[in-house]
Amino acid sequence: MSAIEIHGLRKSFGDLEVLRGIDLSVEPGEVLCVIGPSGSGKSTLLRCVNLLEQPSAGTIRVSGVEVTDPDCDIDAVRRRIGMVFQQFNLFGHLTVRENLTIAQRRVLRRGRAEADRVAAENLDRVGLADKAGAYPAQLSGGQQQRVAIARSLSMNPELMLFDEPTSALDPELVGEVLAVMRSLVADGMTMLVVTHEMSFAREVASRVVFMDGGVVVESGPPADVLGSPREERTREFLHRVLEPTRVSTAEL
């Protein structure tokens, strides 16, 4: 059974069709990295998986459960999915520990002692065991994103969705977040990652998908898609991303 199965997915915002018939699957233990230019529909695709955006057409199944079925208990499905956003979305008035325990206690109905134990384990996992009593404003951007990852892990998800988790970070802080994500890969976590970090995709992805204009242009192993892409649009995108100083005004 696939962790995620997407068939014929379409999404429109008014007259603007953002996703135009996406067919995609993610297998258990797989790391699928989605790359592409801004406006290609990557984040919308991710948000449709747990119905943060309601698809206009198509079907989505998570571990065999069709989340696009109107009778689906989407809250039950969401409890099995961790999501990390571009922005950290931490509660500024709560400590780091409280940010990690509030959903455990209210959604999973864990007692305070168990929730604190799970929070401590996951803070240690992301290298922030000493920050449990701090507030988000006292942390760097990289530390806040690591807290956001620990918060998702505290819900014991079966799969993780990452929506460009390093895009809001200073360059020198990117590495610490990617290190945590690599550790999740090593632990066998199923991951669907929207990213602009090509080196990360090349290193850890099982497959890379290149999207443009709301469709999947190319899909395959990282060595193929990033190293020797078949499609001209993929080659053009990688040229602009990997060699930005060589982009000419004529290309613009």
pLDDT, residue 172, reads 83
Distance CA 85, CA 166 (A): 9
Question: Which residues are within 8 A (CB) of 70 and not within 5 positions of it... i.e. 6 or more apart?
Answer: none
DSSP E strand stretches across 36-189: 57-62, 65-66, 81-84, 159-163
List, as one string, the DSSP characters of 223-235: IIIIIS-SSHHHH
DSSP-derived 3-state class of residue 134? coil
pLDDT, residue 173, reads 86
- Give me the long-range contacts of 220-223 (CB less than 8 A, separation at least 24): 222/33
Distance CA 158, CA 167 (A): 24
pLDDT, residue 152, reads 95
Mean pLDDT by 10 residues, the chain (252 residues): 96 96 96 95 95 96 95 93 90 96 94 97 95 96 94 95 89 89 93 93 95 97 96 94 72 62
Tokens of 107: 């959604």
Please report which helix (H) or strand (E) contains residue 7, including its range.
strand 4-13
Angle at 197 between CA 193 and CA 198, to 5 degrees: 100
Distance CA 51, CA 244 (A): 35
The model's pTM: 0.92
Distance CA 19, CA 11 (A): 5
pLDDT, residue 94, reads 96
